[in-house]
Amino acid sequence: MSTAFPLSIKYVSPDINKQLLEDFTGERTGFVQVGDDQWFFPSKYASEGVNFYNFSVRKDDTWVVTFPRSGTTWTQELVWLIANDLDYDTATKIPLIDRFPFLEFSVFVHDEVKKELLNQSEGNPEKQALIEKLSKPGYEVLSEMPSPRFIKTHFPFSLLPQNLLEEGCKVIYVARNPKDVAVSFYHLNRLFRTQGYRGDFKKYWDYFEKNLHPWTPYWTHVTEGWKRREHPNLLFLFYEEMNKDISETVERVADFLGKSLTDEQVSELTSYLHINNFRKNTAVNMDQLKDIGLLQNGEQDFIRKGQNGSWIDEFTPELDKRANEWIKENLKHTDLRFPVKLVEE
């Protein structure tokens, strides 16, 4: 049963909105902030947010919840294969975005951008059908899917259906340190036309740190996941630990999903998920989106380095010092600690 949306939604100030629209060309109307935590989203959230909040979950749903660029795609493929008894044949034939829909992607497809993409694909019904599908709200797409469903979201727990864990859904939450997240997210924002970021990294970090960026505030997002880590229906993972020992992660996820794998199966899945193989996997690297013009030419690929510590490539010493102060200040308010040393405490 649908309930009223309990959080306030307000547009950012006109001056900030004007600057954001100049720097993020994928949005054409403006940006909103939601609730006391001021969760940041494009304008379309104002009309669609209540439907995500009231989305009807099913007890046999499996969810991957992350702040963006925290190893989400990697985790999705790992989870889907374990849950589906290592069905590599289907995994390589059917794109991950069809097997494991992205709940809120429609919020980022502005009507004007959609129209531009449709015009670009004029005369190609197949491409136009994909554009229509991507712009259809995930709550509608998923309501039509048979069970068991696999659902990806970057929404924080406070904006997701409040009965998500209690209903019995299996939820895997993955956290990654903010420096690596920001660098990876910066490149994704340059790659996707729905974001269309045109500035440099220093300016990008400014938006990220000030929570003027989709799905921020980052710290509130990860601590909401961390606080739920003891719930029997939630598995909390660190990307850094996944990256260091993917075999152990495979075994933990299998145990969480009630599956049993032989050593040989673990080894096979680990090889399949290796970054060198994963980068070449057309079912996960968004080739479909490239075909319809949604990805910008000349930017880094969707599947990037898959490494810990690559943030160092973008941070100047001055920016790193500033980021460290921000990190230290926010770590004061939580007992969450990443498996990599970010700053001197």
Indicate if the pLDDT at residue 311 is higher than 90: no
What order of strands is seen across the sheet that includes strand 62-66? 150-153, 62-66, 170-175, 234-238
How many whole angstroms from its chain centre is CA 296? 19
Instruction: Give domain status of residue 343, yes or no.
Output: no
Domain that holds residue 289: 56-331
Indicate if the pLDDT at residue 296 is higher than 90: no
Indicate if the pLDDT at residue 104 is higher than 90: yes
Indicate if the pLDDT at residue 301 is higher than 60: no
Instruction: Give domain status of residue 16, yes or no.
Output: no
Instruction: Give domain status of residue 61, yes or no.
Output: yes
* Residue 304 confidence (pLDDT): 46
* Residue 299 confidence (pLDDT): 43
The domain spanning residue 285 has which CATH number?
3.40.50.300
Instruction: Give domain status of residue 200, yes or no.
Output: yes
Instruction: Give domain status of residue 344, yes or no.
Output: no
β strands within 143-233, DSSP E: 150-153, 170-175
Is the distance from CB of 290 to CB of 302 less than 8 angstroms?
A: no
- Name the helix (H) or strand (E) containing 223: helix 218-227
Output 210 or 304, whichever has higher pLDDT: 210
Angle at 190 (CA atoms; ends 18, 71), nearest 5 degrees = 120
Output 217 or 290, whichever has higher pLDDT: 217
Q: Of 276, 228, 269, which is closest to residue 252 (Cα–Cα)?
A: 269
Total domains in the chain come to 1
pTM attached to this predicted model: 0.93
Instruction: Give domain status of residue 5, yes or no.
Output: no
Instruction: Give domain status of residue 33, yes or no.
Output: no
Average pLDDT estimate for 166-194: 94
Residue 273 Rama label (left phi>0; alpha psi -120 to 50; beta):
alpha
* Residue 302 confidence (pLDDT): 45
- pLDDT-based confidence at 122, cuts 50/70/90? very high
* Residue 331 confidence (pLDDT): 95
Indicate if the pLDDT at residue 1 is higher than 80: no
Average pLDDT, the chain: 92
Q: Of 188, 240, 153, which is closest to residue 69 (Cα–Cα)?
A: 188
Instruction: Give domain status of residue 324, yes or no.
Output: yes
